[in-house]
Amino acid sequence: MALDLDMSSLYSIKGIAILDQDGHRILAKYYDSEVFPSQKEQAAFEKNLFQKTHKANSEIILLDGLICVYRSNVDLFFYVIGSAQENELILVSVLNCLYDSVSTVLRKNVEKKALLDSIDIAMLIMDEICDDGVIMETDPQAVVSRCALRPDEMNFGDQSVSQLGMSLLTSAKEQVKWSVFK
């Protein structure tokens, strides 16, 4: 029996974007193909969004019928985009989770070069926060604990059984390889 969920009852967002100080995309994910059907529309929206926000002193803007909450730091701009009916506080909590998670992973060095060096983890952070537009997590510590740590940096209590097994298998392979070459 299939579970039929009404997606409109879930808190959702239209997109997440991180732009540099010139308004160029570093990382972005859009979840509404009606509002953002192609790269062209996404780029036009990002350009317009950046022009309206890069010198502004606020944290929220209504643009093209969408609520955009944003935050800047050094040379990066973080945006969360939602429908005009979405709760602004929910959007701000997603924005804070995104920013705080990235900040933790980058060890408080939130700038373009550091973000580009860890772009893979930033993508994982976005995926942990939101799945196909549905907000899944707003606690930065929970997001970071699932994304940022490599298995060798975790305590055994934090590793899943499969991670632990892979770690032990890799260690055993290394030991066999070195014993053969002696």
- Each residue's pLDDT tens digit, 33-58: 998 999 999 999 999 999 999 888 78
Q: What's the pLDDT at 161?
A: 53
- Each residue's pLDDT tens digit, 107-139: 888 999 999 999 999 999 999 999 999 999 999
d(CA 106, CA 121): 10
d(CA 106, CA 16): 19
Q: Is 82 exposed, middle or buried (0-12, 13-18, 19+ CB in 10 A)?
A: buried
Q: What's the pLDDT at 57?
A: 78
CB count within 10 Å of CB 36 equals 21
Locate 34 and state its tokens: 């009606």
Percentage of residues in the chain with pLDDT exceeding 70? 75
Q: Which residue has the tokens 């060096």?
A: 117
Q: Is 105 exposed, middle or buried (0-12, 13-18, 19+ CB in 10 A)?
A: buried
Please give the average per-residue pLDDT across 19-23, as a whole number. Answer: 94
pLDDT band, residue 176 (cuts 50/70/90) = low
Return the closest-CA partner of residue 68 out of 80, 57, 78, 58.
80
Q: What's the pLDDT at 156?
A: 46
What is the length of the chain? Answer: 182
Q: What's the pLDDT at 164?
A: 57
**In this structure, what DSSP letter does residue 12 have?**
B
> Letter for the amino acid at 179?
S
pLDDT of 167 higher than 80:
no
d(CA 87, CA 68): 11
d(CA 84, CA 88): 9
